[in-house]
Amino acid sequence: MGINNRFTIKQDIRFRDLDAMGHVNNATYFTYMEEARKIFFGEILNVTSPEDFPFILASISCNFIKPVQLEEKTLEVDLWITSIGRKSFTFKHAIYRTQDPEWVFATGESVQVFFDHQNHKSIEIPETFKLKIADYVCIKV
């Protein structure tokens, strides 16, 4: 898989995203990553309701590289899958300047675990899911 297989969304920067220092608050980066995941799941898995999510978020991290100012107006948020286990999979995220993909504001990672909500336990990833996400998997060997 090459860099072209990233899933990308455009993310507007809202005034409410800013902190007292005039740049995007650190917690908001997680919201940007969440929005990318939500749209990915909607477009790739046809998930339209919270009840339709067959997994839960197990962990998430963010590396803050450069501050985002309101003047940026819009960012791009990429995600791609870097590992698939028996019950979990990992997204990598990149948040960068729309006009310059080399200008990266933050990178992150999130782990999702397939989950049976009715029985409150993790479950194995279905093969149908693996087929649907195959275009966005980039596992370095």
- The answer to whether 103 and 57 are in contact (CB under 8 A) is no
- List the chain domain ranges: 3-136
Q: How far apart are CA 26 and CA 38, in angstroms?
A: 19
- Cβ neighbors of 42 (< 8 A, separation 6 or more) are 48
Query: Percent of the chain scored above 70 by pLDDT?
Result: 96
Report the CATH architecture of 3-136. Roll (3.10)
Full-model pTM: 0.91
- Does residue 116 sit in helix, strand or coil? strand
pLDDT digits over 2-34, tens only? 445 899 999 999 999 999 999 999 999 999 999
Q: Any bridge partners for residue 119, and if so which?
A: none
Tokens representing residue 20 in the block: 């007292």
> So what's the pLDDT on residue 120?
94
* Rg of the chain taking only CA atoms, in angstroms: 16
